[in-house]
Amino acid sequence: MRYRLLSAIAFSAATKLAEAAPAAASYDYIVVGSGPGGGPLAADLARAGYSTLLIEAGGDEGDNPTYADIGNFNEAANDETTRWDFWVKHSDDPARELKFEHTTWDTGDGTFYVGLDPPEGAKHLGIQYPRAAVLGGCAMHNAAVCALPAEDDWNIIVKKTGDTSWSADNMRKYLTKIERNEYLPAGNPDHGYDGWLATTVGDASWAKNSSLPAVKILQKLASLTGQDPSNVAQLVNTDILENVANVDEKVSFYNMATHSDSKGKRNSPNNYVRATVADPAKYPLTVQLHTLVTKVIFDNATLSTKPRAIGVEVLEGASLYKADPKHDSSAAPPAPTQILAKREVIISGGAFNSPQLLKLSGIGPKDELTKFGIPVVKHLPGVGENLGDNYEGSLLAMGEAPVEAGLTTLLFRTPNAPDKRRNIYTWCGAFSFEGFWPGFPTYHGPTQYTCAMVHMQPKSQAGTVKLRSANPQDVPDINFRFFEKNGDQDLSELVEAGKLLRKAVAAASDTFVGPFEEKHPCPGKLGEEGCADAVQKEYYKTQAYSHHATSTCAIGADDDELAVLDSKFRVRGVAGLRVVDASAFPVVPGAFPSCPTMMISAKAAEDIIAEAKGKSI
């Protein structure tokens, strides 16, 4: 398959953010990155009265319908206006890498080839992992799914650090703090109604029509997971952000929540940052767009004791990072400039760019830094290690007629899960989602039907983010090392999940939409036995994909050599420097990290402001 490079047509937002430039030589706080971690944090700090500079490598597309209308999320993720392409590996085995069906190649003529039979002379790129360089970060191009981690994903930080403020019970308050719930009556104590983040759900009334083939699938799913098939119309409206006892062991249908409003508009850190800048209270927030941070600056006088961060070095201009498909490799980079922070520098570049920036600044494994001639400020071997992600896959089938209905969302536990927690988040409907590549997704026709799934509690977090050079414009070397640790267990769980979903979809085979022809993972007539577990395992091993990278600057215990941060997001061994984004999670937080990252952003703001005011934290 060939895909032409998208044209670089920028949407110009009419906002003073586009004109933003540093208004002062220094700020109380500098926040690098405007995504779910950095954007809300910068706004909170400014609203607390601290002069704050928020630096973003991309522009502002908050008024662009491609990003503002949540239904356009596939177009947003493909849009060259904001897209950064990271070409990643899933393993150290080159032969295995070339089995990934959506491997991408640069043909050299302005097009990508996606597939297993590239044209002669094509350059192998790898597996596309799109990120968003835009005000609001990846919360501006994702599907905006809002879900919470398992309680143990919060409590693990308590166990590692002894900091009880990370308990699941306490972390719930950050959801209620940031949320502006638009789907439940006001007064529910488990939700917030005055925050900056709108949440809503879809219309699930279709489930009341028992004659629909999709309802037959729904009823079969209920039967297979111990729910009442006669009550599915009510079950599908269960609140997915509910706060009930033993919620992580509850197998249930849910109505998928998104961080968008009831009018179908995306709601993200972009909205909160822009509202803060525009507020008549004149909060001291400055937003500097199209600026690439190249390193953190340290006070030379403190290098021999405890190095203190005092600012950042930046390159000003658009498309300076080589992940940007609009980057001009023939152009000389602009001269670097420096911006100073009176209190702290906070890095919120995400799981790929935060460890890269730390390493470029001299914080990371000393052997790797020395290899590229980077002076070592602090040897922290965990920087760029522990990269984790959810495994994702899908069951895709083609019917005889369209399966007309909305989404079915189900959280369930496979029989072979190692504990009582549910381990699969699935959503089924008349769509196609098979991972990421230039031009995704493939439209297989009006009769396509997919059950996509996210595997929770992955047992392997063996990936790495390593420097390719000391050039801050270069993209790091990213290897997820899928299934390297306890891989057979994770693969077995994916296989069992696929079996359950196959049985459910087959329940509609005797209606006008059937029979179904399965395209993957077991090509052939849906429901027929004949695809061995080993075959399915091999499929998931070579074709699993992901887009929830976390944990490369993980919070950990004082005696953990690989811990990068303490429980207050402070980079160990230095002063005046924190990391606040998804890279801080020690483990992948549930099925979707966007809302959990916004929650820890609110927690970080609370911690930082308390420390600034001299309060005990």
Q: What is the pLDDT of residues 95-124, one digit of tens each?
A: 999 999 999 999 999 899 999 999 999 999
3-state secondary structure of 158: helix
pLDDT over 90 at 22, yes or no: no
| Largest Cα span, the chain | 77
Token code pair at residue 223: 């039967």
Q: Percent of the chain, pLDDT > 70?
A: 95
Residue 451 lies in a domain: yes
How high is the mean pLDDT of the chain?
94
Kindly state whether residue 414 falls inside one of the protein's structural domains. yes
Query: In this structure, are residues 174 and 187 in contact, taking their beta carbons and an 8 Å threshold?
Result: no
pTM, 2 dp: 0.96
Report pLDDT for 24. Answer: 52
Is the pLDDT at 150 greater than 70? The verdict is yes
Instruction: Decide if 210 is inside a domain.
Output: yes
Q: Is it the case that residue 418 has pLDDT exceeding 70?
A: yes
Q: What's the confidence (pLDDT) of residue 464?
A: 98
**Domain of residue 494, CATH code:** 3.30.410.40
CA dist., res. 146 & res. 137, Å (int): 16
CB atoms within 10 A of CB 519: 20
Q: What pLDDT sits at residue 527?
A: 74
Query: What is the pLDDT, as a whole number, of residue 597?
Result: 98
Q: How many Å apart are CA 457 and CA 486, to the nearest integer?
A: 12
Inside any domain, residue 15: no
Say how many domains are in the chain: 1
Task: Decide if pLDDT at 17 tops 80.
Answer: no
Residue 426 lies in a domain: yes
Residue with tokens 């230095």: 574
Q: Is the pLDDT of residue 220 over 80?
A: yes
Residue 233: inside a domain = yes
Please tell me the distance from the alpha carbon of residue 404 to that of residue 569, in angstroms, as a whole number.
Answer: 47
Confidence of residue 6 (pLDDT cuts 50, 70, 90): very low
Q: Does 3 score more than 80 pLDDT?
A: no
Q: Which tens digit of pLDDT belongs to each residue from 455-481?
A: 999 998 999 999 999 999 999 999 999
In this structure, is residue 509 part of a structural domain? yes
Beta carbons of 447 and 513 less than 8 angstroms apart: yes
Mean pLDDT of 589-599: 98
- Give the total residue count for the chain: 617
Model confidence at 63: pLDDT above 50: yes
Is residue 285 included in any domain, yes or no? no
* Beta pairing, strands 337-347 & 577-579: parallel
Answer whether the bond into residue 325 is a cis peptide, omega within 30°: no
Q: Is 452 annotated as a binding residue?
A: no
Average pLDDT over every residue of 140-167: 98
Is 158 labelled a binding residue? Answer: no
Is the pLDDT at 594 greater than 60? The verdict is yes
- Predicted pLDDT at 526: 87
Digit-coded pLDDT (tens) for 310-337 = 999 999 999 999 999 999 999 999 999 9
Please state the rounded mean pLDDT for residues 243-248.
96
Mean pLDDT to the nearest integer, 529-545: 93
How confident is the model at residue 528, as a pLDDT? 66
Q: Are residues 480 and 89 in contact, defined by beta-carbon separation less than 8 angstroms?
A: yes
Residue 255: φ, ψ to 5°: -95, 115
**In the block, residue with structure tokens 């993957």:** 520
As a whole number of angstroms, the distance between CA 350 and CA 358 comes to 12
Q: What pLDDT score was predicted for residue 169? A: 96
142 labeled part of a ligand binding site: yes
Q: If phi over 0 gives left and psi between -120 and 50 gives alpha, with beta otherwise, what is residue 445?
A: left
Measure the CA–CA gap between 573 and 517, rounded to whole angstroms: 58
| Euclidean distance between CA atoms 417 and 562, whole angstroms | 28
Tokens (6 digits) for 545? 């994909």
For the cut 50, the answer to whether the pLDDT of residue 5 exceeds it is no
Position 399, amino acid: G
31 is an annotated ligand-binding site residue = no
How do residues 517-533 score in pLDDT, each as one tens digit?
A: 999 999 999 876 678 99
Mean pLDDT of the region 196-209: 97
Q: 315 and 333 in contact (C-beta within 8 Å)?
A: yes
Taking the C-alpha atoms of residue 437 and residue 441, their distance in angstroms, rounded to an integer, is 8
pLDDT at 14: 34
- Determine the pLDDT at residue 616: 53
Whether the predicted pLDDT of 252 surpasses 50: yes
Q: How many helices (H) and strands (E) does the chain have?
A: 14, 26
* CA 518/CA 502 separation, integer angstroms: 9
For residue 487, the enclosing domain spans: 203-255+391-457+483-543
Helix (H, G, I), strand (E, B) or coil at 102: coil
* Residue range 241-252: mean pLDDT, rounded: 97
Counting beta carbons within 10 angstroms of the beta carbon of residue 120, is it exposed (0 to 12), middle (13 to 18) or buried (19 or more)? exposed
Q: How many CB atoms lie within 10 A of CB 290?
A: 19
pLDDT value at 9 more than 80: no
Closest C-alpha to 340, from 316, 294, 309: 309
